[in-house]
Amino acid sequence: GENVEQHPSTLSVQEGDSAVIKCTYSDSASNYFPWYKQELGKRPQLIIDIRSNVGEKKDQRIAVTLNKTAKHFSLHITETQPEDSAVYFCAALGAFGQNFVFGPGTRLSVLP
């Protein structure tokens, strides 16, 4: 089955710097890759997603890149702000009918 690894497990950056979180997946049939942000005590919130027919997607300060050949995808956050501090989860969805597999999460701390 699918296996998703995520690195780093913790990340501290200075406010205004960029943050990059990387995930790798094992199933080449996976075709949908969302990223979720979970603040303390709150539900995971979808922040951006990408499908396998696209290499990059941007939404303001957030971008996701996908390398299907290497089977990895990355979350890029530019101009980080303290409110970006949270745990970020990546996930992969396999072929139709499969379930999501989540990475273990990255705790991002943006220091003022």
Residue list 89-108, contact with another protein (CB under 8 A): 89, 93, 97-105
Q: Which DSSP symbol is given to 2?
A: -
Q: Which of 85, 80, 76, 72 is nearest to 42 (CA)?
A: 85
**Residue 36 near another protein by CB under 8 A:** yes
State the minimum distance, in angstroms, from the CB of residue 84 to another protein. Answer: 19
CA angle 58, 62, 65 (to 5 degrees): 60
Q: Which of 32, 57, 62, 72 binds another protein (CB under 8 A)?
A: 32
**Residue 69 near another protein by CB under 8 A:** no
Pairing of strands 72-77, 4-7: unpaired
**Residue 44 near another protein by CB under 8 A:** yes
The residue among 41 and 112 lying less far from another protein, judged by its C-beta, is 41
Which residues neighbour 34 within 8 Å (Cβ) at sequence distance 6 or greater? 46, 48, 49, 90, 91, 93, 100
**Residue 64 near another protein by CB under 8 A:** no
Binding-site ranges for another protein (CB under 8 A): 32, 34, 36, 42-46, 49, 89, 93, 97-105
